[in-house]
């Protein structure tokens, strides 16, 4: 009976030992649990701080938009206490104009199961509505019964303001560019107007100069006409009238002589015939100066040759004449112009040039005929033809006017120690027009 008691005592000691060991293990586990609890509490506090004081508002929403959770930043963005926000629909904090956008955004979150984003105008009782960027992704509860999503709300009012400012800056820049273009255009228009005004002023001055020149030319023409009339009157009175008077006297003498001595008729009629021939020559010369009928009857070349042959001869002067026979196809007006140019040129050479050799040529050129009169006499400054001092030189001016009147062009080149060359180029056709070119050496 003693043996069992000994075993019971040993068992009691063993059990006691085990209990002490277990107590120590429990104390160690308790210490570990306290340490883990402290770590968990610290982590929770850290997470809570990170969650609540994050720079972005975090919301947990269900499929209907009901707010399940919100951090302090989110509550601050919406301008309300957190306790008053939860269990309310997020749509109440969305401006009416953005609610359709948010509703479509919420539906996409739970349909497509991937991250979604949009921009919406949110309400804040403390201030005017502000723009926010919404980013969300769907999630599932642990039990898997309820669908919800995590929503991040970022205040982008400053960015929107910057974008709006940038947009206004862009608009202002575009307006500024348009204004600069308009300024440049107006400056160009102003410059063009000034240039046009200067041109108009120049044209006005030229018109006044030409008007003055025209008046001078008209005055000279009237003086020339009056002088020609005086010359014609003097020629008629001094030569033609005297010849006719002599013829009348001889007729009287002839009549008396015939009555007294019929045999003396032959002897008396000889001086009478001489006077008649002289009268015919004077009338013919007078008519040729006014308008040579040979020009109409025989053509330009014979008329010029006849005029050159009858031109006053001077000692030591030679006049050489060659002609292109095709010039006769020109109409009467053009042949008359060439004749008058040659006539005026020879007259000027005779008066002023002191030339020893004069060459007159009618040449064939492309699409027309050229009359060239060249002499080796005294030169002159062609540029002075347009000056007021030379306004009374109707000969050269008349040449140019005649040639331009029929669509031709006149060039005058005068070189010291070489002489003067006048070229009158006349086109064959009626519609062909050449520009004038009058030049002198530099």
Does position 79 have pLDDT exceeding 60, yes or no?
Answer: yes
Residue with the larger pLDDT of the pair 319 and 380: 319
Q: Which residue has the higher pLDDT, 429 or 257?
A: 429
pLDDT computed for residue 359 by the predictor: 94
CA 139, CA 335: separation in Å to the nearest integer? 111
Q: Is the pLDDT of residue 116 over 50?
A: yes
145-181 burial, b if ≥16 CB within 10 A, otherwise e? Answer: eeebbebbbbbebeebeeeeeeeeeeeeeeeeeeeee
Burial of 137 (0-12, 13-18, 19+ CB in 10 A): middle
Cβ neighbours of residue 71 closer than 8 Å, sequence gap 6 or more = 51, 52, 53, 54, 57, 58, 82
Name the phi and psi angles at 307, rounded to 5.
-65, -40
Q: Does 141 have pLDDT greater than 80?
A: no
Beta strands across the sheet bearing 116-124: 67-70, 57-62, 147-155, 127-140, 116-124
Work out the average pLDDT over 291-296.
76
Q: Kindly report, residue by residue over 20-78, the tens digit of the pLDDT.
A: 888 888 888 888 888 777 677 666 566 666 678 788 999 999 989 999 999 999 999 99
Averaged pLDDT, 388-402: 66
Q: Is 298 exposed, middle or buried (0-12, 13-18, 19+ CB in 10 A)?
A: middle
Render pLDDT for 263-291 as a digit per residue (tens, 0 to 9): 666 666 667 667 777 776 666 666 666 66
Comparing 16-20, 34-38, 348-352, 392-396, the range with the smallest average pLDDT is 392-396
Average pLDDT, the chain: 81
pTM, two decimal places: 0.46
CA distance 283 to 440: 41
- pLDDT-derived band at 408 (thresholds 50, 70, 90) equals very high
Is the pLDDT reported for residue 90 higher than 90? yes
Task: Give the pLDDT confidence of 185-243 residue by residue, as tens digits.
Answer: 999 999 999 888 899 899 998 888 878 877 776 776 666 666 666 666 666 666 666 66
* Percentage of the residues of the chain whose pLDDT score is greater than 70: 73
Average pLDDT rounded to a whole number, residues 148-170: 90
Reference 385, options 370, 372, 371, 401; nearest CA is 401
> How many other C-beta atoms can be found within 10 angstroms of the C-beta atom of residue 250?
19
Residues 160/185, Cβ–Cβ less than 8 Å? no
Instruction: Assess contact for 91 and 64: CB atoms under 8 A.
Output: no
CATH fold of the domain at 56-155: Beta-Lactamase (3.30.450)
**Chain position carrying tokens 């970022």:** 154
Q: Is 95 helix (H, G, I), strand (E, B) or coil?
A: coil
The mean-pLDDT minimum among 293-302, 352-361, 407-416 falls in 293-302
Give SS3 for 152. strand
CATH of domain 298-442: 3.30.565.10
Phi, psi at 392, each rounded to 5°: -90, 0
Q: Are 103 and 111 in contact (CB under 8 A)?
A: no
């Amino acid at each position: 009976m003693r043996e069992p008691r000994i075993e019971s005592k040993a068992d009691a000691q063993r059990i006691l030992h085990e209990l002490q060991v277990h107590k120590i293990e429990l104390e160690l586990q308790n210490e570990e649990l306290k340490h883990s609890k402290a770590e968990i509490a610290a982590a929770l506090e850290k997470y809570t701080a990170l969650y609540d004081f994050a720079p972005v508002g975090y919301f947990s929403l269900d499929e209907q938009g009901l707010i399940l959770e919100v951090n302090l930043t989110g509550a601050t963005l919406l301008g309300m206490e957190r306790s008053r926000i939860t269990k309310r629909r997020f749509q109440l904090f969305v401006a009416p104009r953005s609610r359709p956008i948010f509703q479509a955004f919420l539906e996409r979150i739970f349909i497509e199961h991937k991250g979604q984003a949009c921009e919406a105008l949110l309400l804040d009782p403390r201030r005017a509505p502000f723009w926010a960027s919404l980013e969300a992704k769907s999630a599932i509860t642990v039990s898997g019964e309820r669908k919800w999503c995590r929503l991040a709300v970022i205040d982008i009012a400053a960015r929107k303001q910057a974008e709006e400012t940038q947009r206004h800056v862009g608009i202002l820049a575009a307006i500024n560019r348009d204004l600069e273009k308009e300024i440049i255009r107006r400056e160009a228009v102003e410059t063009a107007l000034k240039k046009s005004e200067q041109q108009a002023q120049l044209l006005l001055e030229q018109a006044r100069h030409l008007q003055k020149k025209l008046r001078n030319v008209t005055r000279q023409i009237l003086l020339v006409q009056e002088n020609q009339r005086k010359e014609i009157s003097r020629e008629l009175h001094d030569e033609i009238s005297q010849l006719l008077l002599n013829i009348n006297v001889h007729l009287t003498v002839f009549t008396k002589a015939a009555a007294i001595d019929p045999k003396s008729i032959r002897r008396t009629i000889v001086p009478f015939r001489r006077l008649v021939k002289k009268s015919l020559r004077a009338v013919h010369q007078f008519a040729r100066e006014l308008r040579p009928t040979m020009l109409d009857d025989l053509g330009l070349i014979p008329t010029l040759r006849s005029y050159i042959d009858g031109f006053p001869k001077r000692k030591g002067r030679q006049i050489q004449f060659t002609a292109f026979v095709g010039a006769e196809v020109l109409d009467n007006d053009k042949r008359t112009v060439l004749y008058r140019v040659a006539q005026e040129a020879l007259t000027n050479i005779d008066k002023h040039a002191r030339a020893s050799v004069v060459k007159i040529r009618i040449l064939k050129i492309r699409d027309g005929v050229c009359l060239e009169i060249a002499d080796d006499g005294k030169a002159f400054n062609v540029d002075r033809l347009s000056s007021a001092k030379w306004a009374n030189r109707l000969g050269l001016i008349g040449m140019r006017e005649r040639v331009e009147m029929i669509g031709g062009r006149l060039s005058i080149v005068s070189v010291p120690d070489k002489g003067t060359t006048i070229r009158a180029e006349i086109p064959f056709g009626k519609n062909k027009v050449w520009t004038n070119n009058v030049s002198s050496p530099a």
